[in-house]
Amino acid sequence: MLKQINTLLVTTIFLFFLLGGCAKKVDPNVKVLNFVISSKVKGMDPVYAADKYSNNEIARVYEGLLEYHYLKRPYTLVPNLAASMPKVSADGLTYTFKIKQGVMFHDDICFPRGKGRELEAADFVYSIKRLADPKLQSLGWWLLDGKIKGLNSWRKKYSSADAADYSEVVEGLQALDKYTLQFKLARPFPQFLYSLAMPFTFAVANEAVTKYGKEFLNHPVGTGPFILPAFEQSNKITYVKNPTFREKLYPSEASEEFKKLGYLADAGKRLPLVDKIVVKTMVESQPRWLNFLKGKLDYISIPKDNFDTAVIPGKGISDKLAKKGIILLITPSLDVTYTSFNFDHKLFQNKKLRQALSLAIDIHKVNKLFYNDTGLPANSVIPPGIAGHIKGFVNKYQGPDLERSKKLLAEAGYKDGKGLPELVYETTASTTARLQGDLFVRRMALIGVKARIQQNTWPEMNKKINNRTAMIWGIAWSADYPDAENFLQLLYGPNRAPGSNKAGYNNPAFNRMFEVASRMQDSPERTAFYERLNLLVAEDSPWIFGVHRQSYVIKHGWLKNYISSDFDSGQAQYLNINLKEKIKKIEVL
Amino acid sequence: MNIYVYTIRRSLYVIPILLGVSMMIFFLFNFISGDPTSILLGPHATAVQMAELRQELGLDRAWYFQYWDIVKSAFTFDFGRSWTTKQQISSMLSSGAIPSMTVSIPAFIISTVLSISIALLISFFRGGWLDKTVVFVCVTMMSISSLAYILFSQWFFAFKLGWFEISGYENGFPDFVPYVLLPILIWVMMTIGPNVRFFRTVMLDEVYQDYVRTARSKGLSEYYILFKHVLKNAMIPIITYVVIQIPFLILGALLTESFFGIPGLGSMTLDAINGNDFPVIKAMTILTAVAYIIFSLITDVLYTVVDPRVRLK
Amino acid sequence: MGNITKSKSLWSHAWSSLTADRMALISMVIIGTYTLIAVLGGLDLIASDWAKEVGPSYAAPSWDNLLGTDIFGRSVVAKVIKGTEIAMSIGLFTAIVSTVIGVFLGSIAGYYGGKVDEVIVWFYTTFASIPGIMKLVAISFILGKGLFAIYLALGLSNWVHLCRLVRGEVIRHKDREYVQAATAIGGGNFRKLFKHILPNVFHIVIIQFSLQFQTAIKSEVILSYLGLGAQSVPSWGTMINDSKLELARDVWWQLSAATAAMLIVVLAFNILGDALRDALDPKLKGK
């Protein structure tokens, strides 16, 4: 009996290997994009599109009124589902949009006869009300909270009812006719248009929401360039080209930097340029790397604070990879990393102490170890690339300067660290985060300050930061939209945790100036305000500034038109694959 | 007491255990899970929003209602929705079960059959160099960390040598086959050591029994004794050992699934642990516990049926 | 009294058969060496400068740095040695915690029987139904981070098996003549339990202790992977875990060093455990 089982076993194992042996070849007729993301997508409902990954996935299927021009820097908003940029009233409070005609929703059984209907202005009214719906607990409500006339009272009215009434007219959010949409703002909000390019405000069809109910997050029905028939919680998402996509063309204008690099090769071609997108989830970095090296992924972005690169520090890609046609793209990104103090601890209200600790940090070493020496040491909060950043300004308290650090520490009343409690640096469990914490602890030891790290899962750390029990922690902020206001609000007193000002920094002078600046339209005066705020923060050292990171992407030569961007949702429609090149290259990988 | 009465009595014992498990889960997870709202609402959350969400999730209710939810879910398998993915947990479980089982079941069968064969072989040559070598190799294999197996195998066998897929998964037979080969191999490597050791001990226990001595003195061949007597009698502890492992196959291979991108319950559990997704953690705990209780019941009854020596109490 | 001489002869017999077993001897030497390293490390006599940079980031093994360097240019050798201290302490304290709980509950349940037994059996059956990883995570959540929490978390989640064994043995022994005799001459319950019964189940405890020791060392890797491991000090678990960022760039030395260090000591414990079983377990005696 045992013998038979063994024979059976051997045969099965053999069969398994045989089946495993036949690798799939590249299909020469179908252009497929192969992407990877490092965490699971949280459903396909725009109102929950709070993280970058969900954002990108949602923007393949759904679209909004506006988008960022694919080939222009600095970032420029252009119409997408809107027919043109809106008319804005003189007081800056009323925005009137005309939307494109003839835009169709994807075919789906939620529509009569399964045919997608035309998009109307009312769809945006509906979609944005969903963002405010208290029953949905959307993650994007902060974006419009208090900004659209009547929307807050609508939300409040239904917060204890069983369901919100979408037919009730909200003054600031109306469809004047089939193609005209009007927003009335409650107060000047110069960043308003940016919010219309974010997936939170993308158009959904109420038929789909009604039909699928709570399962709507698994049945995306949009107007976008790709279709996802059904979203499954697995490690693979496959999109196909939308056959009824309107005529949208690859841009024929570009910033000079892109023109030179041949990004206009596909100018005037109808979008999307590929037939299929396959997005895989790989939580661990090892499989991401290995799959990329084998050509199974078109590109991988190297996590910004991750040193696990094939990149020679400070130089570029290693010869071995360059020979395989692998290309490295380094692009500055709109963000800042920092080590935050908790101002609830009396200790950290001592400015000299904050400055002393800041001076102890060797920012160049941080840059070298964790950002391959390509990050830009941050002198204050606003990154280069947006108004408010001051070129050439050097923060006096940027480390490493152990002498001055020790001196300031003594002036702060803690000579050689005496009298200071042990500092606790909170970090997540990721290897890189822990190593960064290690470095912090080691620098502190050099000025006599005792410190230790404490690892957490991300939610745990989040909780500690929000309920203000964390003492010191390292974190980063990436822009939601390209405006300095988005960075400065991190230090605005009234935003204190659980709001976005996690440090709890509260400086009346800063607050007053911020309030003025945040209501101003883009102008040289506003830029001057931003710069003053930026300088004030640099002197006050509420955080230890880290670096403005660069995004690192390594891609195979066959992936065309790829640009690393801070706002890359919707990007897939512009990408192209050179199949001939891919078939040739994949042989040698 | 006859076997039927015993079975019924033993089945009734499941109830206090289930209550115990639900209590433990409640104490372990509801108390520490605390307030999830700041996690769920992201960095821009306001206090009002948090209060609304607490109400929405039922976290403002009295503790006995929350406890009752756990007890109920152990019977109805309705675990609500995940905090992080917002998906129905029951549908997450059903879609994750198959990928997990495509790894765990073949791996389990291969490992078990292989270990029994090896154990038989070395008990035949007990005390000899083959026995000693195999035992040493087994012990060495089980002394290596599972994470080291995974990292090294993926890098070496899949990437450097290109024998296997690096990671990924496809639904449906035979599409999934290439993706599960290496995970299965790793599973077998990790479990074969302890298995062989256990089976060998069980068989040697039998080899030194009196009846074997009697059989030998009767001049029966060692080969015959081993297969006819030893294996047959050793089957009882072997079956018990094997059956009681089955419930844990549900959990899948936690780390392996995560590294190889297999969308099973194991990687789901790890995601849930990393994301403090307590409804999912609770659901997986309840599911495994219930399976464990049922399978221990089965082994107990089986044991009584096949081995008359066991006294019914 | 006859009982005690019997148990004495068991121990001396065990000792002579252990020392006769070459593998067991080697294992004991290995464990002794690791313990020595751990103690010296604990007294800061060796590897106290593990945090010092001794070379460039990720230097390959060479004569200067025998096992290469890590990302910060720290010596992998020093980290392995410092990690030994962590691993051995985790093994020791975890084994102590689980042994104390297991023996205590097991012997009480076995000795008193009745309701006490039922409650304890109910408790450990319930406890065993919950998957180990969930227990680890939950206990770590409650206890927080750090070495102390690791000892307790691993210890608390690993006592059931021993408890079962001890309970079974105590039940087997309590009706034996010598215990009956002790009752006849008026021995109290505690006296009977500790003086007469426990010495007879001690061999199980020893075997299990050596097994718990190595299980704990291995479990620390998983804890590190989950971010619940040792903080601020190098452990083999964090070293193995770090290597997931390293292999793709062909940095294999940290993984190899930590894995090998762990392999040797865990292997030694396993072999010693086996030898102890062979020497002490009366069932296999006389083979």
Q: What is the pLDDT of residues A529-567, one digit of tens each?
A: 999 999 999 999 999 999 998 888 889 999 999 998 888
- Dump pLDDT digits (tens) for B177-227: 889 999 999 999 989 988 998 888 888 878 777 777 787 788 777 777 777
Highest mean pLDDT among A136-145, A166-175, A303-312: A166-175
CB of C147 within 8 Å of any CB in chain A?
no
Per-residue pLDDT at B313 exceeds 70: no
With beta carbons less than 8 A apart as the criterion, state whether B83 and B277 touch: yes
Per-residue pLDDT at A305 exceeds 70: no
Give the amino acid at A208.
Answer: A
Query: Chain A residue closest to C70 (CA)?
Result: A435
pLDDT value of position C2: 41
Closest CA to A147 of A117, A191, A108: A191
pLDDT value of position A521: 83
Cross-chain CB nearest to A235 (options B40, B50, B263): B263
- Give me the mean pLDDT over the A367-382 stretch: 85
Confidence of residue B31 (pLDDT cuts 50, 70, 90): low
Per-residue pLDDT at C94 exceeds 90: yes
Confidence of residue B312 (pLDDT cuts 50, 70, 90): very low
**Mean pLDDT score of chain B, rounded to an integer?**
83
pLDDT value of position C21: 82
With beta carbons less than 8 A apart as the criterion, state whether A146 and A257 touch: no
Per-residue pLDDT at B14 exceeds 90: no
- Give me the mean pLDDT over the C151-174 stretch: 88
Residues 210-249 of B with CB under 8 A from A: 227
The region of weakest confidence among B6-15, B252-261, C8-17 is: C8-17
Cross-chain CB nearest to A463 (options B38, B261, B267): B38
The region of weakest confidence among A365-369, B235-239, C9-13 is: C9-13
CA angle B154, B156, B158 (to 5 degrees): 55
- Give me the mean pLDDT over the C25-38 stretch: 93
Confidence of residue C30 (pLDDT cuts 50, 70, 90): very high
Per-residue pLDDT at A351 exceeds 50: yes
pLDDT value of position C210: 87
Domains and CATH numbers, chain A: 44-231 (3.90.76.10), 335-548 (3.10.105.10)
**Mean pLDDT score of chain A, rounded to an integer?**
87
pLDDT value of position B175: 83
Domains and CATH numbers, chain C: 2-284 (1.10.3720.10)
Confidence of residue B311 (pLDDT cuts 50, 70, 90): very low
More confident residue, C94 or B45: C94
pLDDT value of position A315: 54
The region of weakest confidence among A281-285, B117-121, B202-206, C184-188 is: C184-188
- Dump pLDDT digits (tens) for C101-150: 999 999 999 888 889 999 999 999 898 888 888 888 888 777 777 788 88
How far is residue C214's CA from residue A266's CA, in Å, rounded to a whole number? 62
* Residue B15: CB atoms within 10 Å: 10
pLDDT value of position A368: 81
pLDDT value of position B42: 66
- Give me the mean pLDDT over the C181-187 stretch: 70
ipTM of model: 0.83
Cross-chain CB nearest to A454 (options C51, C145, C244): C145
How far is residue A574's CA from residue A274's CA, in Å, rounded to a whole number? 9
pLDDT value of position C7: 55
pLDDT value of position A97: 96
Q: Residue A394: phi, psi to the nearest 5?
A: -120, 125
Encoded tokens for A463: 């909780």
pLDDT value of position A498: 74
CA angle B298, B301, B305 (to 5 degrees): 130
- Dump pLDDT digits (tens) for A23-38: 456 788 899 999 999 8
pLDDT value of position B205: 79
Confidence of residue C4 (pLDDT cuts 50, 70, 90): very low
Encoded tokens for B254: 């936690």
Q: Is the peptide bond before A508 cis (omega within 30 degrees of 0)?
A: no
pLDDT value of position C285: 42
Query: Are B292 and C287 in contact (CB < 8 Å)?
Result: no
pLDDT value of position C105: 93
Residues 5-24 of B with CB under 8 A from C: 16-17, 20-21, 24
Per-residue pLDDT at C194 exceeds 80: no
Which positions in chain C have a beta carbon within 8 angstroms of at least one beta carbon in chain B?
122-123, 125-131, 133-135, 137-139, 141-142, 214, 218, 221-222, 225-226, 236-237, 240-241, 243-244, 247-248, 255, 258-259, 262-263, 266-267, 270-271, 274, 283-284, 286-287
pLDDT value of position B58: 75
CB neighbour burial string for B83-95, b if at least 16 within 10 angstroms, e if fewer: bbbbbbbbebbeb
Highest mean pLDDT among A157-166, B26-35, B149-158, B195-204: B149-158
Closest CA to A360 of A375, A380, A339: A339
Q: Which residues contact A330 (CB under 8 A, 6 or more apart)?
A: A374, A550, A551, A552
More confident residue, A521 or C160: C160
Encoded tokens for B239: 């079956």
Query: Are A431 and C72 in contact (CB < 8 Å)?
Result: no
Gap from B8 CA to chain A (nearest CA, Å): 34
Domains and CATH numbers, chain B: 3-76 (no CATH), 89-306 (1.10.3720.10)
pLDDT value of position B60: 76
- Dump pLDDT digits (tens) for B143-154: 998 899 999 999
CB neighbour burial string for A249-274, b if at least 16 within 10 angstroms, e if fewer: ebbeebeeebeeeebbebeeeebbbb
CA angle A23, A27, A33 (to 5 degrees): 95
pLDDT value of position A497: 73
Dihedral-angle region of residue C99 (phi above 0 means left; psi in -120 to 50 means alpha; beta otherwise): alpha
Those chains having 3 or more beta-carbon pairs within 8 angstroms of chain C are: A, B
DSSP state of B27: I
pLDDT value of position C71: 74
pLDDT value of position B307: 62
Per-residue pLDDT at B1 exceeds 70: no
